[in-house]
Amino acid sequence: MNTNAFRTLSYGVYVVSTWDRGRATGCVANSAMQITSSPATVAVSINHDNYTNRCIADCGRFAIAVLSEQTDPSIIGTFGFQSGEKTDKFADTAYAIRGNLPVIEDACAYLVCEVIDKMETETHTVFLGKVVDADVLKGGDPMTYAYYHKVVKGKSPKNAPTYIPEETQSGQKWVCSVCGYVYDGETPFEELPEDFVCPICKQPKSVFEKK
């Protein structure tokens, strides 16, 4: 089996959010799709290890914010590379309450869903949600997972269904130990100012490792 074939499936990039007993939480997901048009239902796949998974199960509702190519990449760092159990991901993120759920503002559109069914797999839960609210926010071109990899140069969080362990890279590259971003700027990494932060996850220069 050639797992490179899996990389040809197309996805968007989403922030799936819900309530954690009254506190807003969420995570990045790319496995979301519309299942039926009437009544509108969508499916989203969330890893069992993601704190958001149990929060969705408890709350019975989730929102999908569709990231656009214009969305600040730090959103992916905040929501994709930290656990919502210990971090208040919404603390520094603009959001509004839509359809009774917290939805980030920096997105091209959103859908709010009520869980109507779910299917368990070994590692992920597929939540089936009936759409109860949806609207366009900032518009723009939706970010595809391919765009994220090619342009934003991010890496998959380990909990993503699409995660493939990468071989250790040879050569002299500085890699963010939090999100895997590989620095490729013209200025040598050592000469970057001390307040340089990872453009993806906003972690400081000190978390970068030479690989």
Q: Which member of 54, 72, 74, 126 binds a second copy (CB under 8 A)?
A: 126
- Applying CB under 8 A, among 96, 97, 136, 151 the residue interacting with a second copy is 136
* Alpha carbons 101 and 25: distance in angstroms, whole number: 10
Separation CA 71–CA 75 (nearest Å): 7
Q: Under the criterion CB under 8 A, does residue 96 sit at the interface with a second copy?
A: no
Which of 118/205 has CB closer to a second copy? 118
Residues 6+ apart with CB under 8 A from 188: none
Residue closer to a second copy by CB (options 107, 198) is 107
Query: Any idea what DSSP says for residue 207?
Result: G
Would you count residue 109 as binding a second copy (CB under 8 A)? yes
Residue 60 or 99 having the CB closest to a second copy:
99
Give the CA angle between residues 49, 79, 11 to the nearest 5°.
Answer: 85
Using CA atoms, how far residue 204 sits from 92, 177, 209, in Å, is 17, 10, 12
Compare residues 31 and 82 and give the one whose CB is closer to a second copy.
Answer: 31
- Per-residue mark of binding to a second copy, 172-191 (x: CB under 8 A): --------------------
Strand partners, 23: 20
Q: Going residue by residue from 48 to 77, which x/- string records binding to a second copy, judged by CB under 8 A?
A: ------------------x-x---------
Q: Which of residues 4-43 bind a second copy (CB under 8 A)?
A: 4-6, 8-12, 31-43
CA 131/CA 144 separation, integer angstroms: 22
Tell me the backbone φ, ψ of residue 208, rounded to 5 degrees. Answer: -75, 145
**Can you tell me which of 79, 110, 181, 183 binds a second copy, judged by CB under 8 A?**
110
# binding residues, a second copy (CB under 8 A): 56
Q: Residue holding tokens 């730090």?
A: 74
Side-chain half-sphere exposure of 141, counting CA atoms within 13 A: 6
Contact positions vs a second copy (CB under 8 A): 1-6, 8-12, 31-43, 45, 66, 68, 108-111, 117, 119, 121-124, 126, 128, 131-136, 141-146, 160-164
